[in-house]
Amino acid sequence: NFDENNNLSVSFPKYYRFYERRNFERIDPFIPIKVEFLTSNVKVVKDCFDISVGGFSLVFSKTESVPLTLGDEIKEVKVTRILDSHLSQAIVVNVLKLKPFMLENCPYGGTRVSFKFDKPSEQLVSAILAVINGQKKLLGDLTHNWFITNTPR
């Protein structure tokens, strides 16, 4: 904005609206969740970078090949948490090149590939919700206990 003397004035807007582009809560799982699938005759086995009921993402280091492109359909994705496995279909919805140090675990850069589940089973949805809710409860309990033990009396 310019003021009455034609000087540039920079300020935070009086009104704004936050646009949430995600439809589902997404977490970085504490306990590794492994994803396995076959694409272009290459078997991919990776731990999820993050996961939600709507999808997941994987991070490939700069030295790993990424056999995926936007729009690829994966007919059978196996999602495993400890001893609990579920099958689903997924679609690649984003392929992002990571700059060096953009992520802590990829100091040299890499690629993050995001997937959307296509018709996830009720069992898969329940398993993911159990992980999300369990992790939120754990964090809530830890935070609550920290405040109790660190509050002056």
Secondary element (H or E) of residue 117 = strand 110-118
pLDDT of residue 37: 95
Distance CA 147, CA 145 (A): 5
Per the CB < 8 A criterion, the answer to whether 49 and 22 are in contact is no
Distance CA 45, CA 58 (A): 10
Q: What angle do CA 12, 15, 21 make, to 5 degrees?
A: 95
Most confident of 44-48, 62-66, 147-151: 44-48
Could you tell me the two tokens for 86? 């579920």
Please indicate whether residue 73 or residue 17 has the higher confidence score (pLDDT).
73
Distance CA 131, CA 72 (A): 27
Residue (of 2, 78, 74, 88) closest to 39 by Cα position: 74
pLDDT at 117 over 70: yes
pLDDT of residue 139: 83
pLDDT at 65 over 70: yes
72 confidence band (pLDDT: 50, 70, 90)? very high
